[in-house]
Amino acid sequence: MQKYNWNYPTTMWVGENRIKDLAIACKSLSISKPLIVTDNGLAKSEIILNSLNLLKDNNLSVEIFSKVVGNPTGTNVIEGVKFYKKNKCNGVIAIGGGSGLDVGKAIAFMSGQTLPIWEFEDVGDNWTKANSDKIAPIIAVPTTAGTGSETGRASVILNEETEVKNIIFHPKFLPSIVILDPVLTLSLPANITATTGMDALAHNLEAYCAPGFHPMADGISLEGMRLINKWLLEAVNDGSNLEARMNMLTAASMGSTAFQKGLGAIHSLSHPVNALNNVHHGLSNAIFMPYVLTFNKDVIEKKIIKICDYLKLKDSSFDEFIKWILDLRKKLDIPHKLSEVIKEEDFDIERLSKMALEDPSTSTNPKKMSIDDMKILYEHSMSGDLF
């Protein structure tokens, strides 16, 4: 019998206006001078301004770093660490979508390291090279319901030199306190609500289909998909629906919790086009989803039927599940073909396929992959033809 390591999330403060407990979270972690890490757009928002005022009113000295791009880079992290050290901060509050959270976690991690960040790529036992005692405490506050980075033990960072998105891993990347406040997601535009919601679906779905024995992850991912089925369209169609927003935040955190079991080719195909073509991660996941599912059909069909049963779809069959995915994407106004977001002349299939095959998510795809498989999947996603 094989052996497995199971790890589960952290302290989570959940509910309406829990952002008002931010100062309490800092004090409970002995953070006296926090660094807020967020993206440039969010830095000017009421969310950040209110958080700054709240912390200052509680006699906390606070700094803000917002040099974070959509597909965050190693440069973002390096500059953030310099800023953190220059201002003598002693903890990080990461606020935002996946980019802000990933950079915030990476800054807290790298603030105590001497090796370059790429030395901690999620390969083998690279994480053991880190000085675990020097990692700053992290508070994570998601403002989108997609990546689930707030419950993840890794950050996805683009290496500008290689143009590859690397997964940087350490168990202490997991924030010590997570605040899930649906009020913070109310201003999220419908299209971003849709694509981040599909990202959450991809996490739960691939985690469930990944090989290996992890009943807890399977249970979490099934319930995560049920919540998405019930609440994603509600959140998109009525952005003011607080219950829908709360349930989508929960489903996103569940997806990230579950995918410690593994991901798959949806993510393998996504990461290269995110890096080279700057396509939104949730959007690319949504596009690749039915192509990867049909490619994996012969090894995941029984699991897909179980999902159909749990979601109470009209028919418990693989075809019915694909129909559900296609219908959901259509209602969310998400393209069916990758060629609708990437021009043919900008699509380097040889390079992309090689990068996809080497992506860490490939190893836990339900079906063993070759570079030819990656090429075929990219070709189908460009043409729109399912297998």
Give the tokens for residue 98.
């996946």
**Interval 297-309: pLDDT, tens:** 999 999 999 999 9
Are the C-beta atoms of 201 and 146 separated by less than 8 Å? Answer: no
Task: Centre a 10 Å sphere on the Cβ of residue 386 and count the other Cβ atoms it contains.
Answer: 14
Residue the block writes with tokens 């390291």? 113
Query: ∠ at Cα 295 (293, 301), nearest 5°?
Result: 55
- Provide the pLDDT for residue 274: 94
Q: What is the DSSP string of 193-208?
A: HHHHHHHHHHHHHHHH
Which pLDDT band, with edges at 50, 70 and 90, does 1 fall under?
low
Amino acid symbol at 107: I
**Interval 2-45: pLDDT, tens:** 666 666 789 999 999 999 999 999 999 999 999 999 999 999 99
What domains appear along the chain, each with residue ranges and CATH number? 11-185 (3.40.50.1970), 190-383 (1.20.1090.10)
CA gap 326, 174 in Å, rounded? 34
**Interval 142-190: pLDDT, tens:** 999 999 999 999 999 999 999 989 999 999 999 999 999 999 999 999 9
Q: Number of C-alpha atoms within 13 angstroms, CB side, residue 267? A: 28
CA gap 179, 24 in Å, rounded? 11
Q: What is the DSSP string of 282-302?
A: HHHHHHHHHHHHHHTHHHHHH
Ramachandran quadrant class, 330 (left: phi over 0; alpha: psi -120 to 50; beta: rest): alpha
- For residue 34, give the H/E element and its range: strand 34-37
Task: Centre a 10 Å sphere on the Cβ of residue 381 and count the other Cβ atoms it contains.
Answer: 24
Q: Cα(first)–Cα(last) distance of the chain, in Å?
A: 35
- Provide the pLDDT for residue 70: 87
- Provide the pLDDT for residue 6: 63
Task: Centre a 10 Å sphere on the Cβ of residue 189 and count the other Cβ atoms it contains.
Answer: 10
What backbone torsions phi and psi does residue 307 show, to the nearest 5 degrees?
-65, -45
- Provide the pLDDT for residue 4: 62
pLDDT cut 90: percent of the chain above it: 95
Which residues on neighbouring strands pair with residue 179, listed in sequence order?
A: 13
For the chain, give the mean pLDDT.
95
Q: In what order do the strands lie in the sheet with 138-142?
A: 11-14, 177-180, 138-142, 91-96, 34-37, 63-65
**Interval 73-120: pLDDT, tens:** 999 999 999 999 999 999 999 999 999 999 999 999 999 999 999 999
Which pLDDT band, with edges at 50, 70 and 90, does 222 fall under?
very high
For CA atoms 337, 340, 343, 344, give the dihedral sign. positive
CA gap 364, 268 in Å, rounded? 10
**Interval 188-206: pLDDT, tens:** 999 999 999 999 999 999 9
**Interval 322-343: pLDDT, tens:** 999 999 999 999 999 999 999 9
- Provide the pLDDT for residue 71: 87
CA gap 7, 195 in Å, rounded? 27
Is a pLDDT exceeding 70 seen at residue 245? Answer: yes
Give the tokens for residue 308.
């159909």
Of 197, 229, 382, residue with least CA distance to 291: 382
**Interval 365-376: pLDDT, tens:** 999 999 999 999
- Provide the pLDDT for residue 8: 73
